[in-house]
Amino acid sequence: MQSTQISKSIEDLVRQSVYRQLGLDGSKASSAPNKLLVNISARHCHLTQEAVEILFGKGHQLTPKKWLYQDGQYAAEEAVTLIGPRSRIISNLRILGPCRDFNQVEIAYTDARALGFDVPVRNSGDIAGTPGCMLMGPKGYLKLDEGVIRAAIHVHMSPEDAEHYGVKDKDFMQLKVHGECGLTFDRVFVRVHPDFKLEVHLDTDEGNACGLSENTPCELKKS
C-alpha cells in the first residue's frame, strides 16, 4: 500500500512538471478524478448477431482477440472485407464486439477517398441516410443499405468526470493536443455513462494530423 502511494506521488510530481513546462493548468489536471486517455480508433465495424452468422456461418459467436479500454468491449478475432464503390476494397476490417443491434462501419476520411465514398461525420448509431456497402466474410456476403460513417470525435466519461469538467451528456468540449504538431479539436462530443472510463477517441487521420503518441500531453476543456 505504501509503495503504491509513493509511486502515485512520483507520478503526480512528474505530471505537474510536464504541465508547468507546457504552460498548462497542472492543478486542474492533478485534481481530476480519473486520468485522461486519448486513443486512436482504427477503422472497424460493429455487427448484429444476425450479420455475424451471415458472414461466418450459422451460430457463430465472435471471439475476443484484444480487450479494449472500455469495460466489456473488445477487438474480435474475426475480420471482414469491405467492398466499396467501383469494387475497391479494404481487407481485414476488424469487428469490435460484443454484437450490437445495428450494423455500422467506421472509416477515416483517407479510407473513404480511397474507396470512393462520400461519407458524413456522425456519432455512433446515427446512420440514417449514410452510404451502404458490401461486407464479405468466409461464409457469405452482407449488403448494407446504410451504416458507413466517419465517427465524430468523442469522449467517454463517467458522471464523476462530467461533474469535474462541468459538462453533461451530449455536450461538446475542446481537446487540446500538445507537441510538435499540436492542435485543438473544438467539437468533442460528450458521452456520459456510469460504466465509462475517461477516454477520447480520434480516428487515424486525426491522430496522425496531431502526431499523437502515448506520451503526448492532452487536456480537455469545456467549450
Segment 45-88, tens digit of pLDDT: 999 999 999 999 999 999 999 999 999 999 999 999 999 987 88
28: pLDDT confidence band, cut at 50, 70 and 90?
low
pTM of the model: 0.85
Residue with cell 493536443: 177
User: How far is the CA of 61 from the CAs of 1, 52, 78, 99, 105, in angstroms?
Assistant: 41, 7, 10, 9, 19
Q: Which phi and psi angles does 216 have, rounded to 5°?
A: -75, 120
Average pLDDT, the chain: 90
Q: Does the structure show a pLDDT above 50 at 9?
A: no
CA-CA-CA-CA dihedral for 21, 25, 30, 36, to nearest 10:
-90
Q: Does the structure show a pLDDT above 50 at 92?
A: yes
Task: Give the model confidence (pLDDT) of 138-196 as tens digits.
Answer: 999 999 999 999 999 999 999 999 999 999 999 999 999 999 999 999 999 999 999 99
pLDDT value for 31: 77
Tell me 152's DSSP state: P
**C-alpha grid cell, residue 74:** 473488445
Cα distance between residue 220 and residue 155, in whole Å: 9
Domains of the chain, by residue range, sit at 25-40+153-222, 44-151
pLDDT value for 147: 98
Top-confidence residue, 93 or 3: 93
Q: What is the mean pLDDT of residues 28-44?
A: 87
Q: Options 3.10.20.740, 3.40.718.10, 2.40.40.20, 3.40.50.1860; which CATH number does 25-40+153-222 get?
A: 2.40.40.20
Q: 159: which residues sit within 8 A by CB, 6+ positions away? A: 192, 194
- Residue 177: count other Cβ atoms within 10 Å of its Cβ: 22
Top-confidence residue, 17 or 33: 33
pLDDT value for 58: 98
Residue among 167, 136, 161, 134 at smallest CA distance from 37: 161
Q: Any idea which of 22-26, 63-67, 101-105 has the lowest mean pLDDT?
A: 22-26
Cα distance between residue 44 and residue 93, in whole Å: 6
pLDDT value for 127: 98
